[in-house]
Amino acid sequence: DSSSSRIVTHPRALSEPADERSDIVWLDDPRATNADMVGAKAAHLSRLAQRHCIPPGFCLTADAHLTREFGGTVGANLRSAIARAYEQLAARCGSDSPAVAVRSSAIDEDGPHASFAGQHETYLNIRGVESICDAVERCWASAQTEQVLAYRRRHNLPIDQIRIAVLIQLLVPADVSAVLFSINPVTCARDEMVLTASWGLGESIAGGTVTPDMWTICKADGAILREQIASKQRMTVSMLGGVREIDVPRLMRAQPSLEPDRVREIATLGITLERHVGWPVDLELALAAGRLYLLQCRPITTLPRLLSN
């Protein structure tokens, strides 16, 4: 499988002409900037896809969720559309069966007051149409869990007629995963950024099962103010049919996951994106084969609460 070395950012070159009634929208289709169609998570990425290194992918619209078959299953027509899109993605990246990430993208997710971080499901290293359809159905089902419904109630969001899109995106086989906050999320210092990183896919960082490396960076000049290199014990890696967490090889545990030049590159990206979108950003990134990929860009929704204390 050569997908890791042939990740590209503009899949529409091989896609079919846009169909206004389609339940499939590619990330670099102008329609994918419409959060009411594909959810804020996908819409944020779509707006940045022409300027930044974002893995290619396509979205199942919220309308596809509303018209799903009884019991929440992917119907025959949508399954055929997914198969065609997956075939186009495979052709684009030069792999017969490329690994993808399947992520929920609720219509009111990643907004200015509720990010839904960690609420909806994400499935990594999924291959083949049947497995993708199964992951889509599980993403749909995750919108109705008691945890998500409780989150929606806390944020005064509707719990009836929840509309959820699904983003299906080429999986970056990350050597290192990183998260950047463009202002300090602990102190709310707007002149500081905080970057964390660790080995492998980002699930170990998101799940809190690894203590990552951490850098505090001066926003004015990119200088590294503080560096904390952790003993990174666990990492998430791809396995057949998904991912699993393993021990980090002993010799890698105390090694910095990012070099100083890479830290500064990520800091520069954070400043650029904050200026572009107009709000403090929470970024998810992946480093693979020496190339940096932007996986997610969302508002830091905890700031109003922190600043009001």
pLDDT at 303: 61
Residue 41 per-residue DSSP state: H
| H, E, C per residue of 84-116 | HHHHHHHHHHCCCCCCEEEEEEECCCCCCCCCC
Instruction: Report the C-alpha gap between 137 and 227 in whole angstroms.
Output: 42
pLDDT at 109: 60
For the entire predicted model, the pTM comes to: 0.85
- Kindly list the distances between the CA atom of residue 48 and the CA atoms of 5, 65, 221, in Å, as whole numbers in the listed order: 22, 25, 24
Residue 139 per-residue DSSP state: H
User: What's the one-letter identity of residue 173?
Assistant: P
Per residue in 169-225, pLDDT (tens digit) is: 999 999 999 999 999 999 999 999 999 999 999 999 988 999 999 999 999 999 999
Other CB atoms within 10 A of residue 72 CB:
14
Per residue in 11-43, pLDDT (tens digit) is: 443 444 444 448 999 998 999 999 999 998 899
pLDDT at 5: 41
Q: Is the pLDDT of residue 161 over 90?
A: no
Other CB atoms within 10 A of residue 223 CB:
11
Pick 301 or 273 by higher pLDDT.
Answer: 273
For CA atoms 73, 100, 103, 202, give the dihedral sign. positive
pLDDT at 306: 46
- Kindly list the distances between the CA atom of residue 295 and the CA atoms of 2, 57, 208, 286, in Å, as whole numbers in the listed order: 20, 11, 19, 7
Lowest mean pLDDT across 127-131, 289-293, 301-305:
301-305
Q: Is the pLDDT of residue 2 over 70?
A: no
Question: What is the rounded average pLDDT of the residues 252-260?
Answer: 97
Q: 251 CB contacts (<8 Å, ≥6 apart)?
A: none
Per residue in 221-255, pLDDT (tens digit) is: 999 999 999 999 999 999 988 999 999 999 999 99
DSSP per residue, 62-76: HHHHHTPBTTTBPPH
What percent of the residues of the chain are helix, what percent strand, and what percent coil, each to the nearest 5? 35, 25, 40
Instruction: Report the C-alpha gap between 142 and 154 in whole angstroms.
Output: 17
58 forms beta bridges with: 26, 168
pLDDT at 147: 82
Instruction: Report the C-alpha gap between 193 and 235 in whole angstroms.
Output: 24
Per residue in 74-104, pLDDT (tens digit) is: 999 999 999 999 999 999 999 999 999 999 9
Average pLDDT score, the chain: 86
